[in-house]
Structure 1
Amino acid sequence: MTDPSIRRILFPTDLSACAEGAFTHAAWLADRFGATLYDFHVRETPGFPPLDWVDDLVVTAEDVAADLGLPLAPEAEPLRPIDLVHEEREASDVAAAILRYAADLPADLIVMGTHGRSGVARARLGSIAEAVVRHARCPVLTVRPDANGGASAFREILVALDTADPIPPEAAWAARLARAYHARLHLLRVVAPSLLHPQASEASRRAHLGLGRLEGQLGSEGVPAVVSRVCEGDPAAVIAETAEEIGADLIVVGSHGREGVRRALLGSVSETVIRHAPCPVFVARHQGEGSAARIE
């Protein structure tokens, strides 16, 4: 089975320390997927001089593997430079500029840093990263600095699933990421509490069966280690609790890309997870209802 090709990875940067960690992951994925990495900086100050030094930047697979503490693949060329393109534009609305550039490429994946603000600033979803996540047409990986302010490999990946059959995009992406980082993959289905919903026990049984099939399929597709669980409760709360329990380094969720009022209300599980997750979050887009993702 194959999934959509990843040829162009967009890395928007504000040149902050948070962006540095995200760049490491963007470069690692570009190397693993054989993609071109587009480094994109928006100048908000008119007349600000361009960053000429970026054009001379050379990053190799060996550099990135060392930063993440990951082994190089046997077939890797350690000293081969990652295909890196730098682009700068001047704009007052940074998020809009990023989204336009992503659409122009078009980007297959966006990787960007987030400052992980708390309190009112985070609740208002005012950050550039959150605006990009909400409106991008492609998957978005938001990366927060680790405890040391840098980048760490994803070793425990949690993917929250609405369904296991057919295979949703978030499962296919999680499998690719698990292989890229040699990580353990945790599959999670959340069903309604049985005391409130008499059919929940049947829903739980079906969820277990679906996850069992998916677990076996992912294992046969080369995912290093796959475990699964079914839990009852509020989806966003259960995802957060499970992430903390397993020490998740990355949470993968799906988004149906709702428009209009339904999007403005910000009631979706994925947006709640993005607001409150203690670790990086990968948001996979559902391109069309009823379409199954494929795993490579």
Structure 2
Amino acid sequence: MSIIGKSFGILIESVIFATDFSPASKGAAIYASNLAVYFHLNLIVTHCFSLSQAALEVEVETGKHRSKQRTDLENLLKNTALVLPSGEGKSEAILLEGDPHEVVPALAYERSPALVVLGTHGRNAVDRLLLGSVAESILRRFNGPALTVGPHVSAVLSKQLSFRRILYATDGYPESVHAAPFAVAFAEAYGIEIDVLHVVRSDQIDHPDRLHEIQQRFYSALDATVPLHAKEFCDPRSFVEVGEAQDRILKHIDERKIDLLVLGLKRNSHFGMENRTKGAFPIIAMASCAVLTIADGSI
């Protein structure tokens, strides 16, 4: 088990990389392996599947024989794990049978505290700019930290990740500060800067003093959550924007050359997951950097 950061002592034991063997998973694999090595963590490479009817008949009828589908996937998964370095020796391959949104969170809880790493193509047949349905379903069910690498994230050519600046984006309300310790912990661990971006919807500003009120409530909650020495160490820069979260965050990522976006997710937040066309999912799918989401309570 490793401690990430000194101020909060975030404990992580395992990195769980869920792959579907697609090109979208390759970038996520590099992030998962790098994080496992950097923080000296176990790396678990997993794939979820359901038996085809033919394979099911083979296994049910014989009772002992394993279907070709199962053995082929086991071999493919083992070969994938073999080429990914881990912080604790060899990477472990675990083939999971069942729905990804059920079995991946279950594995993460079994190996907790864990960081789940996902790759996504960011599109499907219905909505081209939304998060892939599998990654989205896992994020909805998993209440721990999850790192998602979308299709617009540049390929990592080096064996070592080069994080230079973190963006911690909030909706300006005290309830969103639960992700702050993770942003600070990663910044401390990598010795990098934090940008803090508050995005407030225009319809929330019903009188001239409202924005100031929202800011002060958030800063009070942040001061109680992030110790002063941590803020000084990370040299946070604070920005306030009024508008749509997706547009403001994506613009900030590009303009400030952000390497990691940290989002705290709540059911009723501006960044909530209750609506697939709004909130966190399109941001993750379109961001040019990896996104670390921290869920607060059941989604």
Regarding TM over 0.5, the answer is: yes
Counterpart mapping for 1:67-106 below 5 A:
82=89, 84-91=91-98, 93-106=99-112
* Counterpart for residue 154 of structure 2: 147
Q: Alignment partner for residue 24 of structure 1, among 24, 30, 40? A: 30
The separation in 2 between residues aligned to 1:263 and 1:208, in whole angstroms, is 21
Q: Secondary structure at the match of 1:121?
A: coil
Does the Cα contact within 8 Å between 2:143 and 2:295 map onto a contact in 1? yes
Matched, 1:277 2:284: no
Equivalent position of 1:238 in the other structure: 248
Distance 1:83 1:207, change over 3 A: farther
User: 2:41–2:86: 8 Å Cα contact kept in structure 1?
Assistant: no
Q: CA deviation at 1:234?
A: 2.9
Return the alpha-carbon distance in structure 1 between the equivalents of residues 279 and 138 of structure 2: 17
Residue in 1 that maps onto 2:230? 218
Q: Match for residue 85 of structure 2?
A: 59
Q: Distance between the aligned counterparts of 2:141 and 2:8, measured in 1?
A: 26
Structure-to-structure mapping, 1:150-165, within 5 angstroms: 153-162=162-171
Q: CA deviation at 1:11?
A: 0.8
- Scaled by the length of structure 2, the TM-score of the pair is 0.71
Q: Contact conserved, 1:95 with 1:128, CA < 8 A, in 2?
A: yes
User: 2 CA distance for matches of 1:230 and 1:103?
Assistant: 36
**Mapped contact 2:131–2:284 kept (Cα < 8 A):** no
- Where does 1:73-222 land on structure 2 (aligned, <5 Å)? 82=89, 84-91=91-98, 93-117=99-123, 120-122=126-128, 125-144=131-150, 146-148=153-155, 153-162=162-171, 168-193=177-202, 196-203=206-213, 206=216, 210=220, 216-220=228-232, 222=233
Say if 1:195 and 1:283 are closer, same or farther in 2 by CA, change over 3 A: closer
Kindly provide the amino acid, as one letter, of the partner of residue 156 in structure 1: R
Amino acid at match of 2:275: L
Cα separation, 2, equivalents of 1:100 and 1:208: 33
Say whether the 8 Å CA contact 1:175–1:218 is kept in structure 2: yes
Cα separation, 2, equivalents of 1:118 and 1:164: 32
- Asked whether 1:249 is paired with 2:275, we answer no
Contact 1:142–1:282 (CA under 8 A) maintained in structure 2: yes
- 1:11 and 1:38 in contact (8 A); partners too: yes
CA distance, structure 1, for counterparts of residue 176 and residue 266 of structure 2: 15
Q: Identity of aligned pairs, percent?
A: 25
Q: Distance in 1 between matches of 2:132 and 2:176?
A: 33
How many Å separate the matches in 2 of 1:153 and 1:60? 18
Give the Cα–Cα distance (whole angstroms) in 1 for the partners of residues 288 and 241 of structure 2.
20
TM-score by length of 1: 0.72
Q: Distance between the aligned counterparts of 1:55 and 1:205, measured in 2?
A: 46
For the 8 Å contact 1:19–1:114, the answer to whether it is kept is yes
Structure 1's 257 and 140: CA in aligned 2 closer, same or farther, altered over 3 A? farther
Asked whether the equivalents of residues 191 and 200 of structure 1 are also in contact (C-alpha less than 8 Å), the reply is no
> Aligned pair count?
263
1:209 and 1:123, CA in 2 relative to 1: closer, same or farther beyond 3 A? closer
The Cα RMSD (Å) is 3.6
Which AA in structure 2 matches 1:244? D
Q: What per-residue deviation string (whole Å, max 9, x for no partner) do you get for residues 43-95 of structure 1?
A: 4454322214456556266xxxxxxxxxxxxxxxxxxx54522111334x333
**Where in structure 2 are there 5+ consecutive unaligned residues?**
1-6, 56-66
Q: Specify whether residues 172 and 163 from structure 1 end up closer, same or farther in structure 2 by C-alpha distance, changes over 3 A only.
A: farther
Larger displacement relative to structure 2 (246-255 or 149-158): 149-158
Q: Is the Cα–Cα contact under 8 Å of residues 45 and 94 in structure 2 kept in the other structure?
A: yes
Give the whole-Å Cα distance in 2 for the aligned partners of 1:164 and 1:82: 42
Larger radius of gyration: 2
